[in-house]
């Protein structure tokens, strides 16, 4: 079966760095997405990785290792507005998105 | 990035009525659109995949006669919740796939349906 695993909840301090991990087992791989979702809102795109390595975009970076079926989202200089759920999703061989359950990130002052 | 609109953003209706939700890709043509439902504090649940010009593909457990999907054009898909009941109250989100360059899915802002 297809499976995406990510922690249910994480807590971090304002100004700090947090890493949200995602492991996947899917039928085929055509890329991995990270989305941010605030409560009551639709997800918004953060990053896309299809090749191994680190993609940096401002305060957010995303890493992919295809051989390990592993990705992480790194958030630096955390701000209170970063409190949200972070969803990991993999595009499988049929170009369907397989979603993780999301990681709720709580930022404390 | 590409823009997907969804209308209405919020709807409150009486039990037994039907509600139509529109999803539009504003600046790209989407051959495939997706409809999700999300209950409070839960992850997205894919309901169906909507392909332009053909019948939608429904996920297991989703009643196709209750959730009617019409993908009339490359920029418009509609979801009609027929004879809505309180248990259908949820956050409905559509997304549209832009095949170029990365098959990214862009999400609409969502529709919050409350059935009284």
Q: Which residues of B touch A101 (CB under 8 A)?
A: 42-43
pLDDT at B32 over 90: no
Which residue of A42, A62, A85, A103 is the best one to mutate when testing the B interface, meaning the one whose CB has the most B CBs within 10 A?
Answer: A42
Residue of B69, B110, B78, B95 whose CA lies nearest to B2: B95
**Cα B35 from Cα A42, distance rounded (Å):** 12
Tell me the C-alpha distance between A80 and A76, whole Å.
12
Q: How does pLDDT run across A49-107, given as a tens digit for each residue?
A: 999 999 998 999 999 999 999 999 999 999 999 999 999 999 888 777 888 989 999 99
The strand pair at A103-108 and A9-13 is best described as parallel
pLDDT tens for A50-65 read 999 999 989 999 999 9
Among the partner-chain residues A41, A44, A102, the one whose CB lies closest to the CB of B43 is A102
């Amino acid at each position: 079966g297809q499976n995406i695993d990510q922690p249910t909840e994480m807590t971090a301090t304002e100004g700090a760095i947090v890493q949200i991990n995602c492991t996947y087992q899917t039928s085929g791989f055509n890329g991995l997405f990270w989305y941010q979702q605030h409560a009551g809102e639709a997800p918004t795109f953060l990053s896309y990785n299809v090749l191994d390595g680190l993609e940096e975009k401002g305060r957010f970076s995303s890493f992919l290792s295809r051989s390990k079926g592993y990705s992480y989202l790194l958030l630096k200089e955390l701000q209170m507005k970063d409190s949200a759920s972070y969803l990991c999703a993999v595009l499988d061989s049929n170009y369907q998105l397989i979603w993780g359950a999301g990681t709720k990130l709580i930022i404390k002052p | 990035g590409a823009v997907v609109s969804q209308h209405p953003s919020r709807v409150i209706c009486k039990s037994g009525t039907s509600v139509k939700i529109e999803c539009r890709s504003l600046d790209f043509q989407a051959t495939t659109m997706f409809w999700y439902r999300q209950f409070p504090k839960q992850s997205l649940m894919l309901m169906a995949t909507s392909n332009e010009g053909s019948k939608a593909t429904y996920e297991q457990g989703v009643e196709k006669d209750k959730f009617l999907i019409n993908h009339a054009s490359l920029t418009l898909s509609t979801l009609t919740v027929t004879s809505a009941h309180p248990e259908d109250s949820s956050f409905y989100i559509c997304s549209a796939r832009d095949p170029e360059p990365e098959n990214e899915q862009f999400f609409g802002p969502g529709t919050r349906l409350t059935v009284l």
